[in-house]
Amino acid sequence: MNITDFQNIIERTYGERDRTRGVPSTVAWLAEEVGELAQAVRKGNRDQQLHEFADVLAWVATLANQMGIDLTDAAARYANGCPTCSALPCAC
């Protein structure tokens, strides 16, 4: 799946509702989901881990939508390897 397609489907699924709640609430939800991912990584099974990785991606995407950030533009920071040393693998 394309990052842009994922961001668009999250916009169509949750954009209006999440925008109504506002950015601070979305940041709080993202933090909550990162906590759930941390727990799934520590003691969850594979299905739970997949679920929580998906939810973190979805909350990052809806926050980006509210901020007018294109995640494909963001991801481009790493397109050529490490953005600090420009090496692949990173040689920092």
Query: Which residues are at the interface with a second copy (CB under 8 A)?
Result: 1-3, 6, 9-10, 12-17, 23, 27, 30-31, 34, 37-38, 41-42, 46, 49-51, 53-58, 60, 63-64, 67, 69, 71-79, 81-83, 88-90
Report the C-alpha gap between 56 and 75 in whole angstroms. 16
Q: CB of 58: closest distance to a second copy in angstroms?
A: 6
Q: CB of 65: closest distance to a second copy in angstroms?
A: 11
Report the C-alpha gap between 9 and 84 in whole angstroms. 32
Q: Count the residues in the chain.
A: 92
Q: CB of 70: closest distance to a second copy in angstroms?
A: 8
For residue 27 the two structure tokens come to: 């940041």
Report the C-alpha gap between 92 and 82 in whole angstroms. 8
Over its C-alpha atoms, the chain yields an Rg (Å, rounded) of 15
